[in-house]
Chain A
Amino acid sequence: MDRLERGRERYNEVYGDGAADRLLASLRGVGKELGRYGIEFNYGDIYSRPGLDLRERQIATISSLVTLGNCERQLAGHIKAALNVGLSARQILEVIVHCVQYIGFPRTLNAVAVATSTFDELGIDVDE
């Protein structure tokens, strides 16, 4: 299996059936090449390596996106991915809250807001 095909499989494992093709279809022109790079290199190569499982990879990814800030769309996507690979909504919120020590309240509160609206959209109650 080539790297792009492996990436497509791994991407769909994380985001759901057909997700890789939906990503590529949503991009235009040179943007499609960037999408293909993401699927081919990131999912076909890095996500397919041993050493960390998909749950651990989502914990690391969410922590990095929260730290970087201004990645709301990607954060919402990876929160959904994290639910797909076995993290609960409560655990995802804990991952974000843990980051407050290292990145401060502004970016952490923004990330909690993204998570809360993502869970609302999915009908997951976070007030329990």
Chain B
Amino acid sequence: MTEKANLTPAQRAIGGFAPKLVSLTDDVLFGDVWERAELPKRDRSLITVAALIAGGNTEQLRNHLRLAQQNGLTETELKEVIIHLAFYAGWPRAMSAMNVAKTVFITED
């Protein structure tokens, strides 16, 4: 395994440029909040994806859709989250999110 393969996604993306934000991402977000026992990771991915869709954060949605699949949500379920949120967050955000999902799922299938 190369050294790069051992890096976290945040380290790979901005590690040398903004090490403090990377350590907060890895230690506080994924190391602490995501590890809280009250909800399983599958639910935490559902929450995260919903928040990113409603917030219009399509850039971050790409990787979180992949993580959501690793945490047990299926492509069908993730597409349904986007459809479900259309009437809450509005069609523009749902359509933008579905375009991201299409690139993620079609690339990976």
Contacts and interface: CB of A to CB of B under 8 A. Distances in A.
Given A46-B87, A90-B38, A97-B33, A68 B54 contact: yes
A60 B46 CA distance: 7
A56 B87 CA distance: 16
Chief secondary structure at chain B's binding surface: helix
Interface centre among B44, B53, B80, B89 (most CB of A within 10 A): B80
Interface centre among A51, A91, A94, A101 (most CB of B within 10 A): A101
Interface residues of B, number: 31
Chain A interface size, as a band, is 20 to 34
> DSSP class of A's interface residues: helix, strand, loop or mixed?
helix
Interface of B: 29, 33, 36, 38-39, 43-44, 46-55, 57, 60, 76-77, 79-81, 83-89
B50 A60 contact: yes
